[in-house]
Amino acid sequence: MKNRSLPIIFVFIVAFVFLFLSYIPNIYEASVTNLLPPDRVMLWGEHIYTYDYNVYLSKIRQGTEGRWTVVDKYDNNTKNPGVFLQMLYLLSGKLGGLLQLTPTLTYHFLRTILSVAWVLTIIYLCVFYLRKPGRYIIGVLLALVSSSFPIFYQFQNSTWVGQYMDWWQEMDPMKHISYIPHYLLNYIILAVLIVLMYVFTKTRQNKYFIVISILTFFSFLIHPSGGTVFLISWAIYHFINALIYRSYNKKQFLDTVFKTVILFLVALIPLLYIKVVTSTYPWKSLTDFDQNYHLPFSLNEYLLALGPVIIPGFLGVILVILKREEKLLALATWVLAAFLGIIVFGFIPAFAVTRFVQTANQIPLAILATYFIFEFVKKFRNRFLRLIVYLYLAFIILDGLAQCYFSLKAQTGFIHERAVAVAPLVPYPSQVMYPLKDFYNALIWLKNNTKITDVILTKVTAGNYIPAYAGNFVYLGHSSETPQFNDRVNQADQFFSGEMDNASAKLFLKTNNIAYVFFGPQEKDNNTKDIGRYSFLKTAFSTPYVTLFKVLP
């Protein structure tokens, strides 16, 4: 019994050591506080991308404030009704409030819980599909470390190993294992749905289909790409079983068609809700952003970014279909559905193509690669062929370990450079520096002395931080959550230049429901006349770098 448990214990130890390593940048960040210049403050825990991270904090803060629906605080309209989008963060804010956690700690508590759940899911998938200890040990290793084909480059007088598609941080093996919470939940739900699809098909028990329907609903509500990949997987899986393998009788075929219709109707509910919500501002700004800003996605680069596991992974897909491995077929359809989504939605702009990259496709590829490698070795006894396969397996693992090492080295190096940076005063994007103490103290003053329904006028950096750390609404602050973002940037620039006449400036503030004006280093960038000259602005808070003006009636 002890010998049987050793492999699974080994797998758990390796997986959770790997998970711990992904937190090293956060631990390192906390250790370099003493390096900060005296005029800076460390806002520990900013995760992946500062501007999006602050959006998540703003939703968490709404939960601690007692809201039950989400409002867009990156807009100046305080009367908009709340919606049921991004509810994961709002609900976690309620729990964090009960535990007296800050939004930052709540975020990382949620991230940690879901990261652990995701690691357990990966282990379960490998054990469920590969069964034998030798196979699932390799499967877990590949799922954890498989990474991009290597790119070698010179940096700091040494050779570094880089990644294809490194602009998409989810491809980094040291980041996606403890990634952004709602993506992690999306991964977990998709994985569970794929397993349940097989279990339901084998048992035909409606209790499994009920669970599938519920999870599909929430998958579309949390992140539609995950639900879409599952629906495509469902269609491919049953198409192959029914029409190619002919494994269904007439009754089973009709039942499958009926349940497929039900699933599409279930998916239609959150899709229609999202469509209605995003058809008007402020939430229409989300679809505006997707339509107007397309990332430079290339399928060839994505294949290179998936790395050396892609070759045995796709061969595993083919072998599964040829051998009629019904259990593994469900897993293979995950891969096929993701790539079909990338191809189809490359022509139909309903989803950004990159959304189908956000479905943890490296996990099924790793398991299918493991399956193929072991089946190949079992089939072919030729020592030379086996040696080639073993060397390629070693290459996948060593390449992945190298990518992990250089990822951690790059992340900690970036944190160090960020900690010692002294210029400019307020950068854009802000993740390259920690904020000024004056900047942060102004946020705290707003939090303690203003109403959460007050609208603050700033430029983009302060506007991005205020909903997260002070809880106010802002006129401008996030490119995908601020309606007519570019127009508002221009209008804010015009106001802060000081060139507006008194009547026009007052009308601008009144029309946009602005209660306070944040006047810091970034707001002063194009300033030619002191806005303090306006008679309707009264100084409410002042430091050497930041002044907060209250707008008088």
| DSSP secondary structure letters along 26-67 | HHHHHHTGGGS-TTB---TT--S-HHHHHHHHHHHHHHHTT-
pLDDT computed for residue 1 by the predictor: 46
Residue type, 454: D
For 491, other C-beta atoms within 10 Å of its C-beta total: 17
For residue 24, being part of any structural domain is answered with no
Q: Which residues, at least 6 apart from 384, have a Cβ–Cβ distance to it below 8 Å?
A: none
Compute the distance between CA of residue 465 and CA of residue 462 in angstroms, rounded to an integer.
5
For residue 390, being part of any structural domain is answered with yes
For residue 80, being part of any structural domain is answered with no
Contact 125, 191 (CB under 8 A): yes
Compute the distance between CA of residue 355 and CA of residue 229 in angstroms, rounded to an integer.
10
Using alpha carbons, select from 105, 96, 124 the residue that is nearest to residue 11: 124
Shared domain for 196 and 304, answered yes or no, is yes
* Boundary (domain end) residue, out of 359, 385, 413: 413
For 9, other C-beta atoms within 10 Å of its C-beta total: 10
CATH code assigned at 459: 3.40.50.12610
Using alpha carbons, select from 239, 440, 405, 425 the residue that is nearest to residue 329: 239
Shared domain for 340 and 487, answered yes or no, is no
Residue numbers of the domain that contains 215: 115-413
Secondary structure letter of residue 278 according to DSSP:
T
pLDDT computed for residue 381 by the predictor: 84
**Helices and strands: H and E segment counts in the chain:** 21, 7
Q: List per-block mean pLDDT (blocks of 10 residues) for the chain, which spans 553 residues.
A: 79 97 97 95 93 97 96 95 95 96 97 98 97 96 96 93 93 95 97 98 95 97 95 97 89 94 97 95 90 83 96 98 95 97 83 88 98 95 92 97 97 96 87 94 98 97 97 96 95 94 95 97 91 94 97 94
For residue 209, being part of any structural domain is answered with yes
Shared domain for 399 and 511, answered yes or no, is no
Compute the distance between CA of residue 179 and CA of residue 22 in angstroms, rounded to an integer.
9
Shared domain for 470 and 539, answered yes or no, is yes
Contact 496, 531 (CB under 8 A): yes
Secondary structure (3-state) at 541: strand
For residue 86, being part of any structural domain is answered with no
Shared domain for 238 and 181, answered yes or no, is yes
Q: State the residue for tokens 């029914």.
A: 242
pLDDT computed for residue 4 by the predictor: 73
For 196, other C-beta atoms within 10 Å of its C-beta total: 18
For 189, other C-beta atoms within 10 Å of its C-beta total: 21
For residue 191, being part of any structural domain is answered with yes
Using alpha carbons, select from 411, 352, 365, 377 the residue that is nearest to residue 139: 365
Shared domain for 140 and 193, answered yes or no, is yes
Contact 495, 456 (CB under 8 A): no
Compute the distance between CA of residue 302 and CA of residue 517 in angstroms, rounded to an integer.
44
Contact 407, 175 (CB under 8 A): yes
What is the torsional sign of CA 76, 81, 84, 89? positive
Q: Which residues, at least 6 apart from 52, have a Cβ–Cβ distance to it below 8 Å?
A: 180, 478
* Boundary (domain end) residue, out of 413, 444, 470: 413
Compute the distance between CA of residue 28 and CA of residue 418 in angstroms, rounded to an integer.
12
Q: How many domains does the chain have?
A: 2
Residue type, 30: A
CA 50 to chain centre: 12
pLDDT computed for residue 293 by the predictor: 76
Shared domain for 372 and 245, answered yes or no, is yes
pLDDT computed for residue 3 by the predictor: 66
Shared domain for 147 and 283, answered yes or no, is yes
Compute the distance between CA of residue 62 and CA of residue 87 in angstroms, rounded to an integer.
10
Shared domain for 390 and 470, answered yes or no, is no
Structure tokens at 534: 């306006």
Contact 260, 234 (CB under 8 A): yes
Using alpha carbons, select from 422, 401, 429, 436 the residue that is nearest to residue 518: 436
Name beta bridge partners: 158: 155
pTM score, whole prediction: 0.95
Secondary structure (3-state) at 155: strand
For residue 272, being part of any structural domain is answered with yes
Shared domain for 479 and 352, answered yes or no, is no
Contact 539, 548 (CB under 8 A): yes
Shared domain for 318 and 450, answered yes or no, is no
pLDDT computed for residue 2 by the predictor: 54
pLDDT computed for residue 337 by the predictor: 97
Shared domain for 365 and 453, answered yes or no, is no
CA 549 to chain centre: 36
Please tell me the total number of residues recorded for the chain in this structure. Answer: 553
For residue 169, being part of any structural domain is answered with yes
* Boundary (domain end) residue, out of 413, 447, 475: 413
